[in-house]
Amino acid sequence: MQAQKHPAFNAEDRYLKDTCKCIDSEIDYLADEVEKMDEELLKLKRAVGGNYSDDVIVKATIHEANKRKLNQLRRAEDKPYFGRIDFKELGKSGYETFYVGKTSLTKKDDNKMLIIDWRAPMASLYYSGEIGEVMYKAPGGLIIGDLELKRQYEIQKKELINIFDKGLTPMDEYLQTALWEKKDNRLKDIVNTIQSEQNDIIRADKGKVLIVQGVAGSGKTTIVLHRIAYLMYTYQDIFDAEKLLIIVPNNLFLNYISDVLPDLGVEEIKQSTFEDLVMSLLDTEYKLADIETKFYQLLDYQNLSAEYRKNLQLSSFFKGSMVLKNIIDKYVIDLSSGLVPKIDLKINDLIIYSYDEVLKMYEEDYKYLPIVPRSKRIQKYIESNISDRVKTIQEKVTIKCDKKIKELKDSVEDIETIRDKIIRVYDKRDMINKNLEDSMYKAIKQYFDQWEDLDILTLYKGLISDCEKLEKYSNGELDKGTITFVSDYSKKIFDNEMLEREDLAALLYLHLKLEGLSLKGKYNHIIVDEAQDYSELQMYILRQLSSNDSFTIVGDISQGIHSYKGIGNWKELMDNVFTGSDKELLRLKKCYRSTMEIMNFANQVIKKWRKEEITLAEPVLRSGDKPLIIKKNNDNEIINDIALRINEVRGEGHKSIAVICKTTEESTKVYQALKNVMDDNIHLITDKDTSYGGGVVVIPTYLSKGLEFDAVIIFNCSKDNYIDDELHIKLLYVSITRPLHKLFIYYKDKPSILLDIDGDYFDIL
Ligand SMILES: Nc1ncnc2c1ncn2[C@@H]1O[C@H](COP(=O)(O)OP(=O)(O)OP(=O)(O)O)[C@@H](O)[C@H]1O
């Protein structure tokens, strides 16, 4: 064991053993407490029989905290800590030693802090502090002092394996050990090796919109998950799990990241795709058009004209744009101003509620309500008051009738005629009054039938598929060609009783304008991963769900394979969506995932995009094989070679291997062909899959985004499969930035123009 060579081994070994003993006894103690409290709470709950009890609440809270701590200690018992800092605060005498771990531990008998939590303010020194003068932010203000020692430990099953000292051993050695590990099917926490620039993001001020542009593999996903754990620990009184929301691209990805938060001691955070969030907010399951159809049409340069593909892009972009938001705003104003029909609510010829009276309710009394609840409120008001109103009218009818009868009685006509007339007047009065009573609810219905139907889906479809309306409300911001394309294309989808994914944000926005939103302002912090693929309107909607404009938004413009509908530029997002809020854009340039050789190669590919927004990745010093580009004569030869390659890579101990294809159709063919020449231990991943079980998979690029594998094999990077356009460049870039250790790229006939790069960056076969 390397650790034994370290001069402080004996002292460190003793400390580890003492700490482990202490954890064991704390685990025993807490397990005992939890068991006792389980029984006690059961008895107490029975005794109070479902009634409110302070005692039950207090005990249940302690019980939950004990269970949580017990879980955390159990998770930490094999590796109780990973770092140490020796720090002397300015003005104090002597250095104090602090061990940093995933969860804190205090010794029972003397209250000595054996481990501090990695999220504690002082632990920041472990991640960001350099030996010498340092400072860190504590709740009471800045603490300044001197950092004498920063030490890192590799511990396995309670045994010290290695010790690294800042200054004596290159710090990267510790990071390198972590990065060389083989990956299985899930993302892992990185508390041991969080880097300084990542630490800054994790601990950034909570009260703003933080946007992080990070290159592929820079740890964006990992960091946002650590940030959640940090926020929940640091601001326990504000951030309970229900007030946090994480938006992720798809359910496969959700499954891929699902271990990290529990490992960091955080449970039950709402994590959702944008689509699922909208459907749950609208409480409706919409049938959505297949995500792939449009995506693959955009790639189909052989069969579809450039103009058609451009219109497709524009149409998607429009549906997520602030232009559509403005159109909806104007549409709603018109809808609202013409909503109260210019008629009175009458029964026969009697006015029960006049147009002016209802208009006043609409424009003044209930103006504070959105349109739909406002019109419902007015209807309800009229329903509950109409009988009083009718009574008043009946009284007036009676008075009029009495007056008429008096006149008749005073008249000079013969008595028989007067009697007949009086009877007729009474009959008429009774008929009118009865009719008033009988018809009042029917009249209300007939009256409100004249109001425009506010079914939001119908209104939305009506707007989007109506060229005249789009033209009227767009104020010249859309050209006629786009308008016609949008409305025709949408009509076809609507006719099939479907919506596009792109429709959901606008539909929800219309809902918000007309109905309001029950979750408005519900979340204290919202996290968006892979944010480059979201539209401004989607972000605008998320902003409506936030109580305080507290966001962490991470993404990589270079991986924006859905940028035809998404964000092309962070500055525009800040200007157009987060106007007026405090915001900051940070950059992560280092890639921790892939070897230097893979990342240098990837940089050459993304450079072909020739866009100023590109940030080239700086690989962390970890060297492996150069990417291997392999030419074969046909698909069969490629498949046979891939099968051999997979066995070879498996033999080297790599656990996760992906054969990445451009489309699902290509993936399906490759999967079938591989199954014919290989064992059965291979899986096809499609958009129906919600989990990735590790091992060998065949997967289309767009689903591999966000994931990573030990080795990646790209099936067909031939000339006619990847052309020199933005979407193809980004697709290839995403694929080649997925591997940690090995990358193989196959082609037949001629290689793609995107592989036309300096030969130093790859090997060929
Ligand atoms: N400080 C670190 N220490 C150890 N591993 C790290 C560190 N930072 C990132 N990694 C590892 O790098 C890999 C990439 O991380 P992650 O998936 O979070 O990056 P990303 O920026 O979201 O990537 P992409 O945009 O390509 O999806 C993961 O395996 C993660 O564990």
ipTM: 0.99
Reported in sequence order, the residue ranges of 122-236 that DSSP labels E, i.e. its strands, are 132-138, 141-156, 159-165, 209-214
**Ligand-binding site membership of 258 (annotated):** no
Q: Tens of pLDDT along 584-610?
A: 999 999 999 999 999 999 999 999 998
Task: Determine the Cα–Cα distance for residues 357 and 342; give it in Å rounded to an integer.
Answer: 11
The yes-or-no verdict on residue 170 having pLDDT over 60 is no
Per-residue confidence at 506, pLDDT binned at 50, 70, 90? Answer: very high
Q: What's the mean pLDDT in 237-250?
A: 88
Please tell me if the CB atom of residue 593 comes closer than 6 angstroms to any atom of ligand 1: yes
Q: How many whole angstroms from 166 Cα to the centroid of ligand 1?
A: 23
Q: Tens of pLDDT along 534-562?
A: 999 999 999 999 999 999 999 999 999 88
By DSSP bridging, strand 350-353 and strand 345-347 are antiparallel
Using the structure block, give the residue that is written with the tokens 């802090």. 113
Please name the residue whose Cα sits nearest to atom 6 of ligand 1: 592
The yes-or-no verdict on residue 709 having pLDDT over 90 is yes
Please tell me if the CB atom of residue 528 comes closer than 6 angstroms to any atom of ligand 1: no
Average pLDDT, the chain: 92
Q: How many whole angstroms from 168 Cα to the centroid of ligand 1?
A: 27
Q: Tens of pLDDT along 717-746?
A: 999 999 999 999 999 999 999 999 999 999
Task: Determine the Cα–Cα distance for residues 536 and 423; give it in Å rounded to an integer.
Answer: 73
Task: Determine the Cα–Cα distance for residues 758 and 753; give it in Å rounded to an integer.
Answer: 12
Please tell me if the CB atom of residue 739 comes closer than 6 angstroms to any atom of ligand 1: no
Token pair of 107, please?
């010794």
Please tell me if the CB atom of residue 213 comes closer than 6 angstroms to any atom of ligand 1: no
The yes-or-no verdict on residue 30 having pLDDT over 80 is yes
Q: How many whole angstroms from 220 Cα to the centroid of ligand 1?
A: 6
Please give the distance of CA 40 from its chain centroid, rounded to a whole number.
Answer: 40
Q: Shortest CA distance to 233 belongs to which of 269, 195, 265, 187?
A: 265
Residue ranges of alpha helices (H) inside 450-479 are: 456-464, 467-474
Q: How many whole angstroms from 356 Cα to the centroid of ligand 1?
A: 64
Ligand 1: which atom is nearest the Cα of residue 178?
Answer: 4
Ligand 1: which atom is nearest the Cα of residue 223?
Answer: 18
Higher model confidence: residue 183 or residue 505? Answer: 505
Please tell me if the CB atom of residue 472 comes closer than 6 angstroms to any atom of ligand 1: no
Task: Determine the Cα–Cα distance for residues 330 and 324; give it in Å rounded to an integer.
Answer: 10
Please tell me if the CB atom of residue 26 comes closer than 6 angstroms to any atom of ligand 1: no
Per-residue confidence at 667, pLDDT binned at 50, 70, 90? Answer: very high
pLDDT of residue 169: 56
Residue ranges of alpha helices (H) inside 155-256 are: 172-179, 196-202, 220-234, 251-256
Find the length of the chain: 765
Ligand 1: which atom is nearest the Cα of residue 222?
Answer: 18
pLDDT of residue 182: 67
Q: How many whole angstroms from 603 Cα to the centroid of ligand 1?
A: 17
Please name the residue whose Cα sits nearest to atom 8 of ligand 1: 219
Residue ranges of alpha helices (H) inside 6-80 are: 9-48, 54-76
Please name the residue whose Cα sits nearest to atom 28 of ligand 1: 593
- Contact status, residue 387 vs residue 344, Cβ threshold 8 Å: no
Please tell me if the CB atom of residue 188 comes closer than 6 angstroms to any atom of ligand 1: yes
The yes-or-no verdict on residue 168 having pLDDT over 60 is no
Q: Shortest CA distance to 249 belongs to which of 562, 22, 476?
A: 562
Please tell me if the CB atom of residue 214 comes closer than 6 angstroms to any atom of ligand 1: yes
Token pair of 326, please?
């403005």
